[in-house]
Amino acid sequence: MACEKGFLDATALAEYLVQKGLPFRQAHEVVGKIVKKALKDKKKLAGLSVDEFKKFSSLIDSDVYDLLGVENCIKHYKGPSSTAPRAVRKRLTFWDNKLKT
C-alpha cells in the first residue's frame, strides 16, 4: 500500500503531543526531528522504541503505539467525515443508496 511508505502517522503523532499539552508549533518541530531520525535509521515511526521517542519528548509513552502505523492512524480519527472504517462504511452506504435512486 502506497500510504505505508511515508510518514502518514506523523500528523497523528503531532496531535498526540498537543493532547499531552505541547503547543502545536513545538509538536510540529519535535515530530520533524523524529521523522528525520526515522528516515536516517530507515525505520517507520512505529519502529522506534519508546526510549528513542523520549530523546525528543518526555511526553511520549508506550500508548503512542496505539496511533502509529497506517491501520491505527486510520482508526484514530473518529469524526463523521473521518477515515475511521465505520465512518467510511457509513458514507459508502449513503452514496450507494443515493446513486441507486
- Tell me whether residue 89 is in a domain: no
**What's the pLDDT band for 79 if we cut at 50, 70, 90?**
low
List, in order, residues 6 or more apart from 20 with CB less than 8 Å away: 59, 60
pLDDT at position 1 over 50: no
Rounded Cα distance, 71 and 44, in Å: 13
Q: Which pLDDT belongs to residue 96?
A: 84
pLDDT at position 2 over 60: no
* Angle of CA points 28, 66, 41, to nearest 5°: 60
CATH (domain of 49): 1.10.40.30
- Tell me whether residue 85 is in a domain: no
Written as nine digits, the cell of 56 is 525528543
Per-residue model confidence as pLDDT tens digits over 29-43: 999 999 999 999 999
- Tell me whether residue 96 is in a domain: no
Q: Which pLDDT belongs to residue 84?
A: 66
- Tell me whether residue 17 is in a domain: yes
37: how many CB neighbours lie within 10 A of its CB? 16
- Tell me whether residue 9 is in a domain: yes
Q: Which domain holds residue 15?
A: 2-75
Q: Please count the structural domains in the chain.
A: 1
- Tell me whether residue 82 is in a domain: no
